[in-house]
Amino acid sequence: MQVFTKANELQIFLKEQLLQNKSVGFVPTMGALHAGHGSLVTRAKSENDLVVVSVFVNPTQFNNSDDLNKYPRSIGKDSLFLERLGCDIAFIPEVEEIYTTNYELPEISLGFLDETMEGFHRPGHFKGVVQVVYRLFQIVLPTRAYFGLKDFQQVAVIRFMSEKFGLPVQIIACPTLRESDGLAMSSRNMRLNEQERKQSIHISNTLLYAVELSKTYSPAETKAKAIELFNQGDLELEYLEIVNPITLESLDDEWVPNSIACIVAYLGGVRLIDNMELNPTSNS
């Protein structure tokens, strides 16, 4: 595996590969890698000639400096992890390398995508995500880019951005990998102590309960009952929404295909996000 820290050196290398008509699969990450990231790398490997993984904790997408400072970092372990997965190129830049003085933030209005759920609760977050992903796409010029559905809204934002700018990249959404007890894998899970780790399964259990409820109840009823169950636990709920997977608008009386329940909760100061597709069998 080759490791690059300089954008221009990576660009020169990748240009040669593109001239040989090689397809490039790209997986942007913030490091502290786990099997969830690994599944994206493996998928990228199976579909492309070359795989590039970036490891960059993007400061502009953190609306909370405490969260940024406490974000786990493990570059040595990450490099080994990527090498073992057969990643071809790791791109590990410093902040100055990404945000050069002449870098211009792409102008884009995300509309409702930035007003609901993550957009509402983390002001500026998606602006930062668009900023970094656009810049990374400029550097890597990927054929395909891989994102996890754990960050469901992020996938919607990236798709929107790519279409808006007509970027020649295929966006591939990959399923959420979970621990054996159901907790969605996340770099932030490392910050949970033993007791919190046990409590954390209340998040996925609530989503599973919502899946069951959706077979009988309307979206609004499902949401109310799922929140009621969630509040019996010790976690602090930020939001639980049942939304249209395309528009992200909240559902009320009617189900739509692939309706999705999205949840964010705090546990010991750690913010955890998850979602699950619902399975309504009727429009009751």
The contacts of residue 62 (CB under 8 Å, 6+ apart) are 68, 71, 125, 128
Report CA 18 to chain centroid distance, whole Å: 27
Instruction: Give the residue, chosen from 185, 243, 261, 270, that forms a contact with ligand AMP under the rule CB under 6 A.
Output: 185
Closest alpha carbon to 219 in 263, 254, 262 = 254
* Residue 27: how many other CB atoms lie within 10 Å: 29
Give yes or no for residue 129 binding ligand AMP (CB under 6 A). Answer: no
Q: In the complex, what is the shortest distance from the CB of residue 150 to ligand AMP, in angstroms, rounded to a whole number?
A: 4
Nearest approach, Cβ of residue 117 and ligand AMP (Å):
15
* CB of 111 vs ligand AMP, minimal distance in Å: 22
Smallest gap from Cβ 129 to ligand AMP, in A, equals 9
Pairing of strands 2-4, 50-55: unpaired
| CA distances (Å), origin 71, targets 3, 27, 65, 66, 202 | 22, 19, 10, 8, 23
Q: Binding residues for ligand AMP, how many (CB under 6 A)?
A: 17
Interacting span for ligand AMP (CB under 6 A) from 78-86, 170-178, 192-200, 232-240:
170-178
d(CA 1, CA 11): 16
For residue 148, give the 3-state DSSP assignment. strand
Query: Of residues 42, 60, 79, 176, which one binds ligand AMP by CB under 6 A?
Result: 176
Look up 125 and say whether it is catalytic. no
Residues 142-161 that bind ligand AMP (CB under 6 A): 147-148, 150-151
Q: Which of 153, 182, 167, 171 is nearest to 262 (CA)?
A: 153
**Diameter over CA atoms, the chain:** 58
- In whole angstroms, what is the distance from residue 156 CA to residue 158 CA? 6
Among 117, 274, 265, 162, which residue's Cα sits nearest to residue 207? 274
184 binds ligand AMP (CB under 6 A): yes
**Selected catalytic residue, list 37, 121, 125, 202:** 37
Q: Does 218 bind ligand AMP (CB under 6 A)?
A: no
Is 30 one of the binding residues for ligand AMP (CB under 6 A)?
yes
Under rule CB under 6 A, residue 42 binds ligand AMP: no
In the complex, least distance from residue 54 CB atom to ligand AMP, rounded to whole angstroms: 9
* Neighbouring-strand partners of residue 26: 52, 145
The answer to the question of residue 174 lying near ligand AMP (CB under 6 A) is yes
51 near ligand AMP (CB under 6 A): no
Q: Is 29 in the site for ligand AMP (CB under 6 A)?
A: yes
Q: Which residues bind ligand AMP (CB under 6 A)?
A: 29-30, 36-37, 39-40, 147-148, 150-151, 174, 176-177, 184-187
Residues involved in catalysis: 37
